[in-house]
Amino acid sequence: MSASAPQSADAAPAAGRAPAHVAIIMDGNGRWAHARGLSRSEGHREGLKATRRAVEFFANRGVRALTLFAFSSENWQRPQSEVDALFDLFVTAIEAELPELSEKGIRLRFIGERADFPQPLQQRMAEAEAATAENEVMTLVVALGYGGRWDILQAAQRWLRDSPGDAPDPERFEDYLSTAGLPPVDMLIRTGGEQRISNFLLWQSAYAELVFLDALWPDVTEQELSGTLETYLKRQRRFGRTPHQAEAGNA
């Protein structure tokens, strides 16, 4: 991450237009590696470079929150060697990227069930969250051991513990989701040519604009990321209203 984050509001896109929260399903590392006769782990390492490009790109465009799907609840089913290599990569990446993320004012937050992760990884995650807690330029949310259904269920369980007998209302319920305090997802990008949500931010993406890219994650360029923003800006967001109402509301 070499370019610096916006230092003033002037550098950010017009208020109300740019997505406040972008989420990405970073798919295609394995296929990228396979096409080159490399191991899947080498694909993930190359994927990390694309991750850096995406963090830098969206931080520089005034996006307030970027959530990346790095390890799903279902990814535990992968071969143990791949799971171990991914955990090693996460530890190395947190250590290597932390100074620059701090310098750029990026706050790191991890969502998902982390109890079964190796201790060194849990420790790095907690340290990185504490070290960047006061940063305000952008929140980088890394979903590890995450599933949208898990998130809704853990929120429901905590709600019942705190307010037994109270019927949940959507606004207060959101405070129990792992993404509490973040805006809803405005744009959900998936790379790698598949067109599904795969149990990512199910509640939070209720009104997200979906953008699918054929490029495999390690191949995603700044130009393609730019294209996702252009696509987003051309969409009319109606939130259940008529096109006419939405136009009047957006004016």
Note the residues at the interface with ligand FPP (CB under 6 A): 26-31, 44, 47-48, 51, 68, 70-71, 75, 90, 93, 142, 192, 217
CB of 227 to ligand FPP, least distance (A): 20
Q: Is 166 annotated as a binding residue?
A: no
CB of 85 to ligand FPP, least distance (A): 10
HEC string of the chain equals: CCCCCCCCHHHCCCCCCCCCEEEEECCCHHHHHHCCCCCHHHHHHHHHHHHHHHHHHHHCCCCCEEEEEEEEHHHHHCCHHHHHHHHHHHHHHHHHHHHHHHHCCEEEEEECCCCCCCHHHHHHHHHHHHHHCCCCCEEEEEEEEECHHHHHHHHHHHHHHHCCCCCCCHHHHHCCCCCCCCCCCCEEEECCCCCCCCCCCCCCCCCCEEEECCCCHHHCCHHHHHHHHHHHHHCCCCCCCCHHHHHHHHC
**Residue 138 vs 155, nearer CB to ligand FPP:** 138
Residue 27 annotated as catalytic: yes
Q: Is 74 annotated as a binding residue?
A: yes
**Residue 60 vs 73, nearer CB to ligand FPP:** 73
CB of 109 to ligand FPP, least distance (A): 12
Q: Is 237 annotated as a binding residue?
A: no
Q: Which of 10, 60, 75, 175 is catalytic?
A: 75
Q: Is 44 annotated as a binding residue?
A: yes
CB of 217 to ligand FPP, least distance (A): 6
**Residue 26 vs 111, nearer CB to ligand FPP:** 26
Positions annotated as catalytic residues are 27, 75
Numbered residues of the known binding site for Mg(2+)? 27, 209
